[in-house]
Amino acid sequence: MSQRPAVITCHDCGLLQKISHLPEDGTVTCSRCDATLRKIERIKPADNIEHLLALVITALVIFIIANSFPVIDLQVAGHEVETSLYGIIHYLLTRSDYFLGGLVFLTALGAPLIQLTGLLYILLPLNSNVIPPFAAQVYRVVRLITQWSMLEVLMLGLIVSLVKLSAMGTLIPSVALFAFLALIFFIADILSNINSEIIWSKISTIKQDPRLKDSERPENITNCHNCHLLCKIPEHHEGRCPRCDSPLHKRKPDSMARCTAYLIAAVVLYIPANLLPVMVVSSLGHSEGETIMGGIIYLGTSGDMSLAIIVFVASMVVPSIKLIILTLLLITTYFKSQWNMKDRTRLYRLTELIGRWSMVDIFVTASMAALIQIQGLAVIEVGGGAIAFGAVVVLTILAAMSFDPRLIWDNLEKKNE
């Protein structure tokens, strides 16, 4: 085994650093910004693949159960109404709500399914020491789609819906809800057990970029953002990672311009998202719109204060904080500020972490509207506010994805040169 020190560029601040001693078990953090550079676990590679495969197969079985039964089952005035996750998506699409339908499909069904089937495609042959075709490309997709899988947020949305619906009728316990809960734990277990270094080393024979020379200048070296292979950045054109085919660039292209564009669009849509009703409830000839804040007040006054606070944080605090942090990062980076670079990088990591929770209101609205379509008694429709709010969530996620935190540190490097 090579005893050469590992060379890693930090994905958050860009610093090239040599790690002379890799611990057998534990985490290696960046010496400048505290980002996690490597997670190393003392697991035998063979055990890891076999263990992961067992988890993935179990999760897929639970996934099928969760999607075969209704997630909400309610008895209202002699009517029994129920909806599955597929039913929620189907309802949105038949109402021509393609954006919300597509968003719920991606985050609650498509992303987890691609994640699990992609892993099955790689791990099943790998367990018998066979590398499946296009394994690197499939694993790249699995890693990219993971951030769009939001089952834990769906779960919170379903719980909020159940609390709201309990005032309308009698809830019947649903198998699918428990299956989704189990699925969340299994996927979290898979993600914490997955050792990407081991998987990359098993599916690809490339251990180092062949274009990389020992004398390479540090500014021409970067780790592939997807598979972490140390690569040479071509000087005059955009290169690709020899292992996973991801585009290679020193900094995300047009990061500031793209982040600003997404952010401005999100700020503009944030206004109708909060002013327009997210859902319209029609009952006995009387229609009433409910805004996001109205829904939170309803939850609070109907006795569920803790849930009201959770939804308030997810739907009001998180999007506002995200918009403020991204604006602050853009302005300070534009003016080449050297103020608190470490804390600003931490703020960036926070925006990446919390953004998904704002989806909770979309899941609440979609599931309640799909369920309550009892003509002559009560009908719930998705309001314009929900579409604007969904767009805000997607735009802020895209804004955070396009911002390159290494730009925060670039001025320091220029000053020190």
For residues 11 and 164, which CB has a smaller minimum distance to Zn ion in the complex?
Answer: 11
Phi, psi of 41 (to 5 degrees): -125, 145
CB of 224 to Zn ion, least distance (A): 3
Cα(212)–Cα(243) distance, rounded to whole angstroms? 13
Q: Number of residues in contact with Zn ion, rule: CB under 5 A?
A: 15
CB of 31 to Zn ion, least distance (A): 7
Hey, which residues between 196 and 255 contact Zn ion (CB under 5 A)?
Answer: 224, 226-227, 229, 241, 243-244, 246
Q: Which of 6, 7, 32, 197 binds Zn ion (CB under 5 A)?
A: 32
For residues 248 and 314, which CB has a smaller minimum distance to Zn ion in the complex?
Answer: 248
From start to end of 67-223, where are the E strands?
72-76, 79-83, 170-171, 221-223
For residues 226 and 365, which CB has a smaller minimum distance to Zn ion in the complex?
Answer: 226
Three-state DSSP string of 187-212: HHHHHHHCCHHHHHHHHCCCCCCCCC
Hey, which residues between 80 and 99 contact Zn ion (CB under 5 A)?
Answer: none
The stretch near Zn ion (CB under 5 A) out of 4-12, 21-29, 122-130, 151-159 is 4-12
Place of tokens 């198998």: 175
Hey, which residues between 33 and 62 contact Zn ion (CB under 5 A)?
Answer: 33, 35
For residues 6 and 93, which CB has a smaller minimum distance to Zn ion in the complex?
Answer: 6
Cα(315)–Cα(254) distance, rounded to whole angstroms? 29
Hey, which residues between 268 and 307 contact Zn ion (CB under 5 A)?
Answer: none
CA 288 to chain centre: 33
The stretch near Zn ion (CB under 5 A) out of 12-20, 145-153, 175-183, 351-359 is 12-20
Three-state DSSP string of 10-41: CCCCCCEEEECCCCCCEEEECCCCCCEEEEEC
For residues 135 and 296, which CB has a smaller minimum distance to Zn ion in the complex?
Answer: 135
Q: Is 30 in the site for Zn ion (CB under 5 A)?
A: yes
Going by the DSSP 8-state scheme, the letter that residue 234 receives in this structure is P
CB of 329 to Zn ion, least distance (A): 16
Handedness of CA 199, 200, 202, 203 (dihedral sign): positive
Hey, which residues between 135 and 194 contact Zn ion (CB under 5 A)?
Answer: none
Cα(123)–Cα(51) distance, rounded to whole angstroms? 10
Hey, which residues between 356 and 375 contact Zn ion (CB under 5 A)?
Answer: none
Cα(381)–Cα(94) distance, rounded to whole angstroms? 13
For residues 12 and 290, which CB has a smaller minimum distance to Zn ion in the complex?
Answer: 12
For residues 345 and 367, which CB has a smaller minimum distance to Zn ion in the complex?
Answer: 345
Q: How much is the CA Rg of the chain, to the nearest whole Å?
A: 24
CB of 244 to Zn ion, least distance (A): 3
For residues 10 and 314, which CB has a smaller minimum distance to Zn ion in the complex?
Answer: 10
Cα(346)–Cα(165) distance, rounded to whole angstroms? 39
The stretch near Zn ion (CB under 5 A) out of 13-21, 187-195, 250-258, 275-283 is 13-21
**Pairing mode of beta strands 247-248, 279-283:** unpaired
- Can you read off the two tokens belonging to residue 107? 């985050």
Q: Which residues lie near Zn ion (CB under 5 A)?
A: 10, 12-13, 30, 32-33, 35, 224, 226-227, 229, 241, 243-244, 246
